[in-house]
Amino acid sequence: MYSIKKIPVGDQVLTMITVNTPQLDISFIDYGAAIYDLQVPDKDGHKETVVLQYQNMQQYLENKRHLNASIGPTAGRIQNGVYTIDDTTIQLDQNFLKKHTLHGGVDALSYTFFDFELLEEEERVQVTFKTVKKQYFQQYPGNQEYEIVYTIEGLNITIEFIAKTDTPTVINLTNHAYFNLSGNLRSTIMNHEMQIHASTKLALDDEMIPYAVESITDTIYDYTDMQPIQKPGFPGIDDPYMLDHVGLDTIAATVQDPVSKRRLDVYTTYPCVVCYTDNFPQDDALAFDRDNVLHMGVCFETQNPPNGIYVEGVESSILRPHERYYHKTIFAFSVEE
């Protein structure tokens, strides 16, 4: 079953859509097509929140850390906020270090009110968020249509990322959920265990701009075997992992909490997962009166390689008018025995 609630926040009104099933409870807001709350059971069957959550709704309108929001038109950073397609050069919003583009710009999809539709069936509930952006939204060329489709079935949350354009442009969509499987944010993620099926990642320069593919075998970034997130020399991760295998029939990444026994497996059609371990906490207060400290959450931002238009040998994310952008990611929860 589901419910819809209007929430006045200053001079804005947010719409919250809550879906309750025997397996999990999840709430969305139309602003940013974002996940507001997600509750799944622990080893004792107790449902608790497993995503970071702000203390009040005003914080979602500001959302400096893109908490649990849909990201686009382009996820990640674009070098110098500029790219060229077919001899046409596009200058984007330079909202990172006043030089590069981050997550589509200062007023991108994560700061957009979406329309939504609901479909309830016997075994699943589907929430579809839609928006249309006119020519030069955040300086991106072309008129663009976006759909973010969440499907809740059992303990699985599937996200479909869909887009169309009438002018060649760059599109790279993701979701920026911050996961914390301890339950109600009672601890950081440092005792969580993680596995990422990737033996390479994108190398980053001093300004966090991806520029090449590099091997990470036997380095501090190597999580091909299940291991604690925190390990000797742990630098904090904000890195694009290039998956060894792509497709919904193979696990891309896993995180699990040894105390609650909650486990999350990530499946995706994307070739890349940006793993981010919440290295730069903002001054925003969190729910449950938790301190907003380092490493409260971990993100698995499935996407095409960020800055791919400048990285040799990877997907460029160029979308043309005759093409349909489509990718799918599954967040599959379970409880370890």
- Close Cβ partners of 282 (under 8 Å, ≥ 6 residues apart): 64, 65, 292
Domains detected in the chain: 2-335 (2.70.98.10)
pLDDT digits (tens, 9 = 90+) for 42-82: 999 999 999 999 999 999 999 999 999 999 999 999 999 99
Q: Measure Cα distances from 295 to 48, 203, 237, 292 in Å.
A: 19, 22, 10, 9
Q: Which helix (DSSP H) or strand (DSSP E) does residue 149 occupy?
A: strand 144-153
| Mean pLDDT of the chain, nearest integer | 97
Where residue 131 falls among pLDDT bands split at 50, 70, 90? very high
pLDDT of residue 135: 83
Strand, helix or coil at 170? strand
| Structure token digits, residue 32 | 């940013």
Report pLDDT for 221: 98
- Give the angle subtended at the CA of 199 by the CAs of 269 and 175, to the nearest 5°: 35
- Which residues, listed in sequence order, are joined to residue 26 by a DSSP beta bridge? 19, 38
pLDDT above 90: residue 282: no
Q: What is the percent of the chain with per-residue pLDDT over 90, rounded to a whole number?
A: 95
Is 25 strand, coil or helix?
strand
DSSP helix/strand/coil, 60? helix
User: What pLDDT is recorded for position 239?
Assistant: 99
The pLDDT tens digits of the residues spanning 50-60 come to 999 999 999 99
pLDDT of residue 157: 99
Reading the block at residue 138, the tokens are: 């955040």
